[in-house]
Each structure stands twice: as structure tokens, then as C-alpha cells.
Chain A
Amino acid sequence: EPEVTQTPSHQVTQMGQEVILRCVPISNHLYFYWYRQILGQKVEFLVSFYNNEISEKSEIFDDQFSVERPDGSNFTLKIRSTKLEDSAMYFCASILGETEAFFGQGTRLTVV
């Protein structure tokens, strides 16, 4: 069964450092997303990516965040200068069209 894979599963970083979270979406999918979930809170949309560009982003996705699909398979989320409040689970998701979303297992980001 096709799946979305994310690496690493857990990342610990110092405040102010840059982190890159990596995702391999399902190969024939067209829409790619990053969501985050702060512990005990709901899953929140960060950004959607379609046709090699950002199609929509939330208020959370400020200038510290960026996404890339550098090689047609990987999809990355970069946080330029991490803050304590960036600590959360980050989920990558992909969909084919107006169908269900396939989520990865997440990267737990801990900023210390």
C-alpha cells in the first residue's frame, strides 16, 4: 500500500537553529501539504503546494517557513530560525484530487 514517509521521526534543535523536515509523498499525487499539531491541540494547516508552487498558506506560515520540492519526489519544510513555540508534530500529507489525504507518521520537533 502506498504511504507517505517522513524523516526524521524526531528532531531536537536549539532555538535559533534551522531545521529541515523531509517528506516523500505518494508518487502520483498532485497536492502536498504540511500540517502541524502542538501537543494536545488540533491538527492545523500550514501550507499547500501544487504545480510546484505554494497554493495556499496559513497565518502560521510566516517568513521563517519555506517549502520546496527539489527533485520531484522529496517535499521539504524548512524553518529558518526555530522558536520554542515551533515545538510540535509536523505532518506531511498528499492527495490525488478531491479525495482522502494520506498523512505521514510525522516528525516530532523539539526546540530547546
Chain B
Amino acid sequence: SQKIEQNSEALNIQEGKTATLTCNYTNYSPAYLQWYRQDPGRGPVFLLLIRENEKEKRKERLKVTFDTTLKQSLFHITASQPADSATYLCALDGNTGFQKLVFGTGTRLLVSP
């Protein structure tokens, strides 16, 4: 069955460092992959979308890579700030044509000053 895995352990880093989060998937051929940020008690907020024919996408301090051979996406936040502390969700399209998203469990990022 389709599976999306994100590191369930929290990632603790120091302010100013680069945070790298991983999303692995199996039994899947997504047309695109998205990353969302979720703060406690709030809805997911879209960050970046990368399509299957794209290797890398950037937006300000964020960078996403997508390796369809490895079935993996890496999400990087450079020059991290305490305000970046949140849970980051990887989401893949559900391959059904109606654009539903299938989410990973998310990785909690804690950036300390």
C-alpha cells in the first residue's frame, strides 16, 4: 500500500543553521509533492510545490528537492530562525485526478536561539 514517511522525532537545531527534513514514499508515483507548515491547533499552510519533472525548487530561505528514483524529497530551511519552529508536513497528490492530498505524519522542527 502507499506509504509516506517523515522522521517522527523532532529536529532540534540552532538559529542560523540549515534544517533539512526528509520525506520518503513507497508504492507511489506522484505527479507532484508539496510541503506545508502546521502550527499547533492551526490548519496546514502551503509552502512549496514541486512537480515530478523538477529536481529542485526554491523560495526565499526554502529549498525543496525531489528525487523520483529514490522516492524522496528533502526540504531545507537555510538561516533558520526561532519563528521557523513548527511541524512540517510532506503531502503527495493522491493519483486520482481530483487533487486530494495524502500527508505524511510530519516532522517537528525546533529552532533555538
Contacts and interface: CB of A to CB of B under 8 A. Distances in A.
B101 A45 contact: yes
Contacts of A43: 38, 44, 89, 91, 101, 103
A44 B99 contact: no
Nearest to A100: B46
Contacts, number: 63
B98 A91 contact: no
B100 A91 contact: no
Interface in A14-65: 31, 33, 35, 41-45, 48, 50, 55-56
Given A45-B94, A91-B43, A101 B101 contact: yes
Contacts of B42: 105-106
Interface residues of B, number: 26
Closest 10 CB pairs of A and B: A103-B43, A100-B46, A55-B98, A43-B103, A42-B105, A48-B98, A45-B100, A103-B44, A91-B43, A56-B98
Interface string A63-103: 00000000000000000000000000101010101111111
Interface of A: 4, 31, 33, 35, 41-45, 48, 50, 55-56, 89, 91, 93, 95, 97-106, 108
Nearest to B104: A42
A44 B106 CA distance: 12
Grouping DSSP codes into helix (H, G, I), strand (E, B) and loop, the A interface class, with mixed when no group exceeds half, is strand
Which of B44, B93, B100, B102 has the most CB atoms of chain A within a 10 A radius of its CB? B100
B11 interface: no
Given A41-B105, A42-B105, A42-B106, A104 B99 contact: no
